[in-house]
């Protein structure tokens, strides 16, 4: 299944910006394209990186719906 928000965001970048974006996410352009077109699933760590580096234009919930990011976003992050 295509990830339209990732496709819209990623295709708006120049070739050099795509390389920079992928590097900031600690991956390669080809990996982003595989995820974008639905050929590969996105793991939670990469989903968080893409969310962060796209400044929320592509959410980790959309990239990796099987992970419970809502729990993490709503937790106090306090350790007992």
Domain ranges of the chain: 4-74
Sign of CA dihedral 3, 72, 13, 26: negative
pLDDT band (50, 70, 90) for residue 77: low
Specify whether the CB–CB gap between 16 and 60 falls below 8 A: no
Q: What is the pLDDT of residue 74?
A: 82
Q: What gap in Å lies between CA 70 and CA 80, rounded to an integer?
A: 20
Question: Mean pLDDT in the chain?
Answer: 92
16-26 pLDDT, tens digit per residue, is 999 999 999 99
Instruction: Give the predicted TM-score (pTM) of the model.
Output: 0.88
């Amino acid at each position: 299944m295509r990830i339209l928000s990732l496709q819209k965001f990623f295709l708006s970048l120049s070739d050099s910006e795509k390389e920079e974006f992928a590097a900031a996410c600690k991956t390669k352009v080809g990996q982003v394209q595989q995820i974008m077109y639905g050929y590969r699933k996105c793991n939670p760590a990469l989903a968080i990186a893409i969310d962060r580096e796209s400044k929320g234009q592509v959410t980790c919930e959309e990239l990796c719906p099987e992970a419970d990011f809502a729990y993490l976003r709503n937790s106090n992050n306090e350790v007992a």
